[in-house]
């Protein structure tokens, strides 16, 4: 059935199209633990989380949810939920401990076991190649590395080529059994939170480096797509996950609309335009003229970045209200603007409404706006919601139950928004809850619980929250209550 034939039924259930993919999502550093096992090398997040003051309570991913040792138990949970798909990420430093050189068989074996376990459970594996755990040595550099004023990591062009090599190793190892591949997760975060705002690894605060990083992440995506196409059967689905922003002007004024344009350029179009149209947003190049000259965009880069993909992954949590004015952020932990080029002219006033434990406003309308924008701008690109979910202060009651009605309400509202977008013509093929398990929430450490499965970190006991049972029922009937 194509989306155009899709008609919501008139019953009390908002039913999704036949074959809709229901999943949950996780990421390697957030759940695996075993940070020093089986030859895994250090990543920039190992280093960053060990740097005093960077992660709340000094938490690290050393143990996380111990998924590396409990993988079969976690796949059994997925089976219990009845999901059709599971999105996980491969840790680059498990496969190439230094980010270059031969692949580690032990590292690849872990993912092979995971994929086999999933396939045995009848669950489709969706592999993300990069969810922020850059091998530390690529950030630090080696004595023999070519001199590069931008330093190491993503501002360095060579990192994109290293990513293509890594892609080849993973594709060779898993290509016969993984049908859906996502090159990068949220390159905006990797570039701008990591290299401009300094609140994610590697913690740099250099707007020019962040723009270079963004270009090289785009290039890494393009090179990775080319490597995947060469290694995988023609039936493979190749995708990219972006955390696109649903932007709203604070007031209906020209100045606020201009502020939205600035943020849209760096947050959304810096990725969408190269990947889908093979060009940089001209207004962004203008806006950032005092920060960078874009000379690191070489001939042929944009063509490589625009190598066609089969679907787009969209991560959505909350909309962003944007106003003209000096930069302030609702988060006092954000020492620098993550919006180079627009830095002096943008404010993010707090949006109204109920909030999650992340202090993010709950507003499913933003997801609908985003999906219908993509329907209009990328009419031939199928969409997957590769992350959506909420953190709340969950705990197990004396009977061992975890009641999380706010999360159920959040998921319900967002699924209704997805349903409405599909009814209005958006080609959304699947939805992945973030996250299967409570996990390491980056700079917030273990203080934020996004899982539909509660993890008691002391015992590593898993408990299905009410939302997990609710989600299993949604999956079983392929729909939510109207």
Residues that bind ligand IFM (CB under 6 A): 27, 30, 186, 315, 387, 434, 441, 450
Q: Please, which residue, 57 or 380, has the CB nearer to ligand IFM?
A: 57
Asked if 127 contacts 23 with a C-beta cutoff of 8 angstroms, the reply is: no
Instruction: Report in angstroms the alpha-carbon separations of 79 from 178, 226, 477.
Output: 18, 33, 16
Smallest gap, in angstroms, from Cβ of residue 397 to ligand IFM? Answer: 25
Residue nearest to ligand IFM (CB): 27
Q: How far apart are CA 65 and CA 460, in angstroms?
A: 7
Smallest gap, in angstroms, from Cβ of residue 31 to ligand IFM? Answer: 10
Percent composition of the chain: helix, strand, coil (DSSP 3-state, to 5) = 40, 15, 45
Q: How far apart are CA 22 and CA 428, in angstroms?
A: 11
Label residues 400-434 b or e (16+ Cβ within 10 Å = b): eebebebbbebbbbbbbbbbbbbeeebbbbbbbbb
Phi and psi at residue 228, in whole multiples of 5°? -65, -45
The reply to whether 387 belongs to the active site is yes
DSSP strand E in 287-397: where?
A: 311-315, 320-324, 346-347, 383-388
Catalytic residue among 139, 237, 387, 441: 387
Q: Please, which residue, 30 or 96, has the CB nearer to ligand IFM?
A: 30
Q: Please, which residue, 184 or 304, has the CB nearer to ligand IFM?
A: 184
Smallest gap, in angstroms, from Cβ of residue 243 to ligand IFM? Answer: 6
Smallest gap, in angstroms, from Cβ of residue 2 to ligand IFM? Answer: 30
Instruction: Report in angstroms the alpha-carbon separations of 417 from 90, 248, 316.
Output: 30, 17, 12
Q: Please, which residue, 276 or 450, has the CB nearer to ligand IFM?
A: 450
Q: How far apart are CA 150 and CA 147, in angstroms?
A: 9
- Cis-peptide into 202, omega within 30 deg: yes
Catalytic residue among 117, 139, 186, 441: 186
The reply to whether 186 belongs to the active site is yes
User: 346-347 and 320-324: which strand pairing?
Assistant: antiparallel
Tokens 């709950």 correspond to: 362
Tell me, what DSSP letter sits at residue 344?
Answer: G
Q: How far apart are CA 25 and CA 231, in angstroms?
A: 25
Tokens 């990513």 correspond to: 163
Q: Please, which residue, 267 or 280, has the CB nearer to ligand IFM?
A: 267
Q: Please, which residue, 27 or 81, has the CB nearer to ligand IFM?
A: 27
Smallest gap, in angstroms, from Cβ of residue 3 to ligand IFM? Answer: 26
Give the CA radius of gyration of the chain: 21
Smallest gap, in angstroms, from Cβ of residue 355 to ligand IFM? Answer: 14
Smallest gap, in angstroms, from Cβ of residue 400 to ligand IFM? Answer: 26
Instruction: Report in angstroms the alpha-carbon separations of 287 from 89, 208, 253, 340.
Output: 34, 12, 20, 8
Smallest gap, in angstroms, from Cβ of residue 6 to ligand IFM? Answer: 28
Q: How far apart are CA 200 and CA 450, in angstroms?
A: 18
Q: Please, which residue, 193 or 220, has the CB nearer to ligand IFM?
A: 193
Q: How far apart are CA 150 and CA 119, in angstroms?
A: 43
Q: How far apart are CA 15 and CA 31, in angstroms?
A: 32
Q: Please, which residue, 281 or 451, has the CB nearer to ligand IFM?
A: 451
Q: Which residues are catalytic?
A: 186, 387
């Amino acid at each position: 059935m194509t989306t155009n034939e899709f008609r919501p039924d008139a019953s009390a259930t908002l039913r999704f199209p036949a074959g809709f993919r229901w999943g949950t999502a996780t990421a390697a550093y957030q759940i695996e633990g075993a940070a020093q096992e089986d030859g895994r090398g250090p990543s920039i997040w190992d280093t960053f989380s060990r740097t005093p003051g960077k992660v709340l309570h000094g938490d690290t991913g050393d143990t996380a949810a111990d998924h590396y040792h409990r993988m079969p138990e976690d796949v059994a949970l997925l089976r219990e939920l009845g999901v059709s798909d599971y999105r996980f990420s491969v840790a680059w430093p498990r496969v190439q401990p230094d980010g270059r050189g031969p692949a580690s068989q032990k590292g690849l074996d872990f993912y092979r076991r995971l994929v086999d376990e999933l396939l045995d459970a009848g669950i489709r594996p969706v592999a993300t190649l990069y969810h922020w755990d850059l091998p530390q040595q690529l950030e630090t550099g080696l004595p023999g590395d070519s001199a590069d004023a931008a330093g190491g990591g993503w501002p360095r062009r060579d990192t994109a080529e290293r990513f293509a090599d890594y892609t080849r190793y993973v594709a060779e190892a898993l290509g016969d059994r993984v049908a859906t591949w996502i090159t990068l997760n949220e390159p905006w975060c990797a570039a701008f939170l990591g290299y401009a705002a300094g609140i994610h690894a590697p913690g740099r605060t250099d707007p020019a480096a962040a723009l270079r990083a963004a270009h090289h992440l785009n290039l890494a995506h393009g090179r990775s797509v080319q490597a995947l196409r060469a290694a995988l059967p023609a039936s493979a689905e190749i995708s990219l996950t972006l955390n696109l922003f649903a932007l709203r002007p604070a007031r209906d004024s020209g100045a606020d609309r201009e502020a939205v344009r600035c943020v849209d350029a760096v947050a959304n179009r810096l990725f969408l335009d190269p990947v889908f149209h093979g060009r940089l947003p001209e207004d962004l190049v203008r806006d950032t003229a005092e920060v960078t000259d874009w000379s690191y965009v070489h001939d042929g880069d944009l063509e490589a970045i625009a190598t066609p993909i089969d679907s787009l992954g969209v991560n959505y949590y909350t909309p962003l209200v944007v106003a003209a004015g000096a930069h302030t952020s609702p988060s006092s932990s954000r020492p620098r603007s993550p919006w180079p080029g627009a830095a002096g002219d943008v404010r993010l006033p707090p949006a109204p409404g109920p909030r999650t434990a992340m202090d993010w406003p709950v507003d499913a309308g933003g997801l609908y706006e985003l999906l219908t924008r993509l329907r209009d701008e990328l009419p031939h690109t199928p969409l997957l919601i590769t992350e959506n979910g909420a953190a709340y202060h969950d705990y197990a009651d004396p009977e061992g139950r975890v009641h999380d009605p706010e999360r159920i309400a959040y998921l319900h509202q967002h699924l209704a928004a997805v349903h409405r977008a599909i009814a209005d013509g958006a080609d959304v093929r699947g939805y992945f809850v973030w996250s299967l398990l409570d996990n390491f929430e980056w700079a917030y450490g273990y203080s934020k619980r996004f899982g539909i499965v509660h993890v008691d970190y002391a015992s590593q006991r898993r408990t299905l929250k009410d939302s997990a049972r609710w989600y299993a029922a949604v999956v079983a009937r392929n729909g939510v209550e109207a």
